[in-house]
Amino acid sequence: MIVDRPGSHFIFVVPFDHVYRGYHYINLNGVPLTNKEYLEKWGKWLVFGQREEMEELARKLDPFVEDRKVPAVKYDRKLITEFQLNRCVMCVYCHHDLREDVWTILSSLGVRDKAWMFERETLEKWLPGGVNLEKWIQGRNLDPEQAERVRIGAKEKFRQMFENDDAIFAGIDQ
């Protein structure tokens, strides 16, 4: 199911059951991941292209998401000017143990460039001093006081999210 909420920077492809029946797609063999397992094993294939290419690939991936062969997908609604990229990014999520199965699907749909990233690597980039957070701050032209508030807020948000290793990972609001 393609979920396009105009207020979000991202467009999502998630199972219908996730949206309407409480299905938790961040799992392995139907068992939801704990915070620790999420940080150790959950990741994504990165696909780069123009918005129109992302939309076409999302439509092709949607049946695989509904069949639970691909857990979830998200892609940029528009370019993120703060990062000065000339392409949109699509994240095709899955557990590390299933990544080659998901890659087989992606390659069958014409994806050629292979780039894998664990979610923990992404989170590190959004912590204070991380390349994504610092580029975002710079791109927004925040003054030093505003920038420090953003850094403190990011650190606290992630601390709260992951303070209990054994809790079921609850997701990240986007």
Share of the chain above pLDDT 90, in %: 88
Q: In what order do the strands lie in the sheet with 116-118?
A: 2-3, 10-13, 72-76, 88-95, 42-49, 116-118
Q: Assess contact for 65 and 71: CB atoms under 8 A.
A: yes
Q: Assess contact for 11 and 77: CB atoms under 8 A.
A: yes
Q: From residue 34, how far is each of 3, 22, 40, 51, 161 by CA, in Å?
A: 25, 17, 10, 33, 11
Give the chain's radius of gyration (CA, Å): 16
**Tokens read off for 95:** 């557990």
Phi, psi dihedral angles at 55 (to 5 degrees):
-60, -45
The pLDDT of residue 116 is above 80: yes
Q: Assess contact for 54 and 63: CB atoms under 8 A.
A: no
Q: To which residue do tokens 């997701």 refer?
A: 171
pLDDT digit string (tens) for 51-72?
999 999 999 999 999 999 999 9
What pLDDT does 81 receive?
72
pLDDT digit string (tens) for 81-112?
777 778 999 999 999 999 999 999 999 999 99
Which of the listed CATH numbers 3.10.450, 3.30.160, 3.40.5, 3.30.70 matches domain 2-118?
A: 3.30.70
State the Cα–Cα distance between residues 60 and 62, nearest whole angstrom: 6
CA angle, residues 150, 154, 157, in degrees to nearest 5: 135
Question: Domain ranges in the chain?
Answer: 2-118
